[in-house]
Amino acid sequence: MKRDIIVNKFVIKFANVNGTGSASANKLFSRSVFRMGVPISPKNIFPSNIQGLPTWYEVRINDTGFLGRRGGIDVMVGMNPQSMARDIQEVEKGGYFVYDSTKPIDPSLLRDDIDFIGVPLTEKCREMYEDPRQLQLFRNVMYVGVLTALFDMELEVVKQLISEQFKGREKIVAPNFLAVETGYEMAKKLHACPIAYRVERRDNVGEKILIDGNEACGLGAVYGGATVSAWYPITPSTSVIDNFARYCRKYRIDAETGQKNYAIVQAEDELAAIGMVIGASWNGARAFTATSGPGLSLMNEFLGLAYFAEIPAVLVDVQRAGPSTGMPTRTQQSDVLSAAYASHGDTKHICLYPSTPKECFEYTALAFNLAERFQTPVIVMSDLDLGMNDNMSEPFTWDDAKLYDRGKVFKEEDLENMEERFGRYLDVDGDGIPYRTYPGTHPTKGAFFTRGTSKDEYAIYTENGEKYIENMKRLEKKWKTASHHVPKPVIRKTDKPCTVGVVHFGTSEASTLEALHHLNGMHGISLDSMGIQSFPFADEVGQFIEDHEYVFVVEQNRDAQMRSLLINEYEFDPECLVPILHYDGSPITARFIRHEIRDWILQTTTSPRRRSRFY
């Protein structure tokens, strides 16, 4: 097959069996590319199981820095006989299929529009290792060596990474070196290296870092000053807490006493987890939990309490594919509505929508400020794609001059000097935000009774309708105030005057921007874009939409949930908000967005705008 040489612009996918230790090998590969200065975006596609089922790792290598999923596979590393048939099918015409040739491929699976590269990995490992566990682990490292040769990558970079990885455990380094070198040599010997796809050193990642969103959230909670965390394990949120714990062990253990400046409680379930967060927050600590859809559902009652009794609470929702248990190891943005309006009665919760690890870090830290300032739950809406995959990100930054905003809290002195009666729910400043006190502050002043029932300004129980309405209206006012303090949307304008816009949020960002890059200029149109960062919506959100004749709303759920939020909160004609929906559990691709928008534009020039698919 004759091919063009393609440098730093292809998609490679690894097909493995889970539980075989492939993940660390695959990560070694992608980090090596990254170290060579080439942008990457890896995606794990794993089953809801521990051992023995197919699992994939897809890495997009892209010089120009497009980081969404592209769609299509150029090189497949097919290490799993179970899934081999479809893995072979998935390779794009002109691509490669790299495999373990210890066992020959079933001839019926062969295609002649792609190249097959066989390396007898198992055979080789059998020669080298006796322990079957070592065999399995090093076979993985070996194929990294193979790829290093095939793509003409720098072997030294791979070895450097191995050394760093096993720092302090030097005796592990040598055998790993050996495995990677063996693979490298085998490839060189058996095949013409390099192949048409290549990785060349660049300087295109700059200061960027490679980190997953959950680690960023966990770190954000440390920087944000969380001292209490209560949680219940659930994929894909568990590693938020794992990382919080890890960084706490590093930064929050008193050197002298060995005591912890934090408390992490593994709760008995999600109801208890959010209950603990609310109890701790009520008592003046910064507290948070992390969960996913089913946990969010279980937290409904407590979230309503926190809204109505005005107690801060931070919750990281790492969304996965619903409804119900759904696809626990697949991604979606389908908790948008249930998070925003969680609980019975009239309730609304502040939500933040990070798109990158940097935003995960910053918004998690910010969530504590917002929660304490507005005395209400704040939900950081991450998802599996962002949370569990390494994402390239701007490095994290922190302004040491800034202190935490602990919100309106009367301290002992304040109470001491106070002449008037303390009113827990009095709107003293006209912004809807009342003052609170921590338990135990002052011997005689400032104590109040917190409850989920209706109360007057002095926190006294009442069933009086006017008092109730007054309080509910104040909560609305507080909500309005919050809309001026949450992160503003990121608006990207084209240089031409522009009547059509695209709205995205969270992990749809990268693919949307890439799609726009291709679309702008096509079909004689150009598209502005806006990344929504928070709910309540900042004024700019409404303005952007009003400024455009119509906007596409890109999201990863079936029911166009963000679009619903937008039309609920504003007075837009829903016809102007065109849903672009991707919800099969895989991260949305630039291709999908581009095609959907293009089709819609082509179609609307001939058909009426109101289309039945909107129902």
Q: Scan residues 120-139 and list those touching another protein (CB under 8 A).
A: 132-134, 136-137
Which phi and psi (to 5°) does residue 573 adopt? Answer: -70, 120
Site string for ligand SF4, 26-65 (x = CB under 6 A): ------------------------xx--------------
Look at residues 452, 329, 482, 378 and name the one whose alpha carbon lies nearest to residue 18: 329
The 3-state DSSP class for residue 508 equals helix
Q: Draw the binding track, 173-202, toward another protein (x: CB under 8 A; -: no contact).
A: ------------------------------
**Which of residues 268, 466, 571, 573 is near another protein by CB under 8 A?**
268
Under a CB-based contact definition with an 8 Å cutoff, are residues 503 and 530 in contact? yes
User: Residue 320's CB: how many other CB atoms inside 10 A?
Assistant: 29
Residue showing tokens 């609170």: 436
Selection from ligand SF4, another protein, a copy of itself, none that 22 binds (CB < 5 to 8 A by kind) is another protein
Residue 449 near which of ligand TPP, a copy of itself, another protein, none (CB within 5-8 Å, type-dependent): another protein
Q: Which is nearer to ligand TPP, 295 or 377 (CB)?
A: 295
Q: What is the dihedral of CA 454, 459, 463, 468, to 10 degrees?
A: -60
Contact of residue 439 among another protein, ligand TPP, a copy of itself, none (CB under 5-8 Å per partner type)? another protein
Eight-state DSSP code of residue 129: -
Least distance (Å) from ligand SF4 to the CB of residue 45? Answer: 20
Minimum separation from the CB atom of position 321 to ligand SF4 (A): 21
- Exposed / middle / buried, residue 81 (Cβ in 10 Å: 0-12, 13-18, 19+): middle
Identify residue 328 by its one-letter amino acid code. P
Q: Which does 197 bind (CB under 5 to 8 A by kind): ligand TPP, a copy of itself, ligand SF4, none?
A: none
With CB cut-offs between 5 and 8 Å by kind, which of a copy of itself, ligand TPP, ligand SF4, none does residue 257 bind?
none
> In the structure encoding, which two tokens stand for residue 421, read together?
């009666």
Distance (Å, whole) CA 317 – CA 311: 18
Sign of CA dihedral 234, 240, 244, 245: positive
Q: Identify which of residues 158 and 274 has a Cβ nearer to a copy of itself in the complex.
A: 274
Q: Please give the size of the binding site for ligand SF4, defined by CB under 6 A.
A: 2
Does residue 399 belong to the site contacting another protein (CB under 8 A)? yes
Q: Contact letters (x/-) for another protein, 146-175, by CB under 8 A?
A: -------------------xx--x--x---
> Which CB, 213 or 294, lies closer to a copy of itself?
294
Which among a copy of itself, ligand SF4, another protein, none contacts residue 288 (Cβ within 5 to 8 A by kind)?
Answer: none
Cis upstream peptide for 579 (omega within 30°): no
Whole-number Å distance between alpha carbons of 342 and 473: 19
The nearest distance, CB 51 to ligand SF4, in angstroms, is 6
The option from a copy of itself, ligand SF4, ligand TPP, none interacting with 357 (CB < 5 to 8 A, set by class) reads none
Q: Applying CB under 6 A, which residues contact ligand TPP?
A: 232-234, 270, 294-295, 298, 325
- Residue of minimal Cβ distance to ligand SF4: 50
Q: Which is nearer to another protein, 399 or 571 (CB)?
A: 399
Question: Which is nearest to 313 in space by CA: 346, 336, 335, 291?
Answer: 291
Provide, rounded to whole angstroms, the least separation between the CB of residue 2 and ligand TPP. Answer: 51
Element (H, E) at 181: helix 170-190
From candidates 449, 496, 539, 602, binder to another protein by CB under 8 A: 449
Instruction: Rank residues 151 and 232 by Cβ distance to ligand TPP and give the closer one.
Output: 232
Nearer to another protein, 276 or 340 (CB): 276
Measured between alpha carbons, how far is residue 609 from residues 561, 575, 576, 605 in Å? Answer: 21, 7, 9, 9
Cα–Cα distance measured from residue 133 to residue 160, given in angstroms and rounded to the nearest whole number: 24
439 or 521: whose CB is closer to another protein?
A: 439
Q: Which of ligand SF4, ligand TPP, a copy of itself, none does residue 583 bind (CB under 5 to 8 Å by kind)? A: a copy of itself
Least Å from the CB of residue 251 to a copy of itself: 33
Q: How far is the CB of 323 from ligand TPP (least distance, A)?
A: 13
Binding site for a copy of itself (CB under 8 A): 47-48, 293-294, 296-298, 300-301, 304-305, 307-309, 321-330, 332, 334-335, 337-338, 341, 343-348, 451-454, 463, 465-466, 468-469, 472, 476, 480, 557-559, 561, 564, 567-575, 583-586, 610, 614-615
Alpha-carbon span 337 to 538, nearest angstrom = 18
Residues that bind another protein (rule: CB under 8 A) add up to a total of: 113
Compute the distance between CA of residue 29 and CA of residue 20 in angstroms, rounded to an integer: 16
Between 17 and 502, whose beta carbon lies closer to another protein? 17
Location of structure tokens 């290792």: 129
- Cβ–Cβ contacts within 10 Å for residue 146, how many? 26
- How many CA atoms lie less than 13 Å away from 481 in the CB half-sphere? 18
| Shortest Cβ 349–another protein spacing (Å) | 17
- Interatomic CA distance for residues 152 and 156, integer angstroms: 12
Cα(409)–Cα(214) distance, integer angstroms:
31
d(CA 308, CA 360): 27
Q: Which residues are bridge partners to 578 per DSSP?
A: 552
Name the residue among 71, 325, 77, 61 with its Cα closest to residue 205: 61
The residue ranges that bind ligand SF4 (CB under 6 A) are: 50-51
